[in-house]
Amino acid sequence: MDAPYGSIAKVANLPAARPINLTRLRDMHASGEKIAAISAYDATFAATASRSGVECILVSEDMVTSHQGHGSDEDITLDALAYHVGNVTQGLNAAQATAWVMADLPASCYGGSRDLAMRHASRLIMAGAHMVRMKLDGNFASVASFLTERGIAVCGHVKGIQKWQSRSVAASIGESGARLVVLECVGDEVVLEVSTALPECMTLGLHAGQETTGQLISIHSLLGMTARENLNVGETYLSKSGSIQGALAAYVAAVKAKIPVFWGC
């Protein structure tokens, strides 16, 4: 029997899922298999996404605008991030789904302090995250390396850089020990520069070229629930598939087949 509307299917009704961990993601990267990632913030969407083939789920700071209705990402709090990480994790556990969970660690939550970053990153890990994402700023290499040396997996986040900035960005990522980076609003030339400098570092493209290890899209954009009219979605997943689960599966299939997902910033 299907689960009631808005609820999560019981484990007994579902086949066992193959675990997603950092080793498997690295194996996918090495073999050339694309990684499908989404941003999501609740139990039902997280479970549905994972059961549809999504490998990574990001609980991002922009949920404060897209999910909570605030006017700026700067309104995000660590309490809110930890709460939504817990929701996502509980949803995955309830559905015996095993996506890799990432959570934003905004600079406003640690202010360049390595000890504070460690404390707050640990809280997100305890809430269920497997990795924290941090923006590349002047403190990134120092703080991220401090975390990685102490067992906290770190993902970098780069937005809108040009080709001439690629080498310094790659150097910062390499120094940090991060093995995953989200490249937002960049072209293929930048992706290739970073990937060439860091061949073992996985890359997720967000409004980026197709030469990344995988693609990242928010659940709201995937379902056409965004006010940003300048986004050019490569596939109208929901209208073509007729269901949310079908839309997620179609997105995963497009990523695996290296079909452009969406463009524009």
Q: How far apart are CA 36 and CA 205, in angstroms?
A: 10
Q: At what angle do helices 114-127 and 140-148 cross, to 10 degrees?
A: 50
Paired with 159 in beta bridges are: 184
Paired with 37 in beta bridges are: 56, 216
Backbone angles phi, psi at 178, to 5 degrees: -65, 140
Paired with 216 in beta bridges are: 37
Helices within the chain (DSSP H only) = 22-31, 43-51, 63-66, 78-94, 114-127, 140-148, 166-176, 188-197, 219-222, 237-241, 244-256
Catalytic residue among 61, 184, 193, 235: 184
Q: How far apart are CA 59 and CA 70, in angstroms?
A: 16
- Could you confirm whether 184 is annotated as catalytic? yes
Tell how strand 214-218 and strand 35-39 pair up.
parallel
Residues labelled as active-site residues = 184
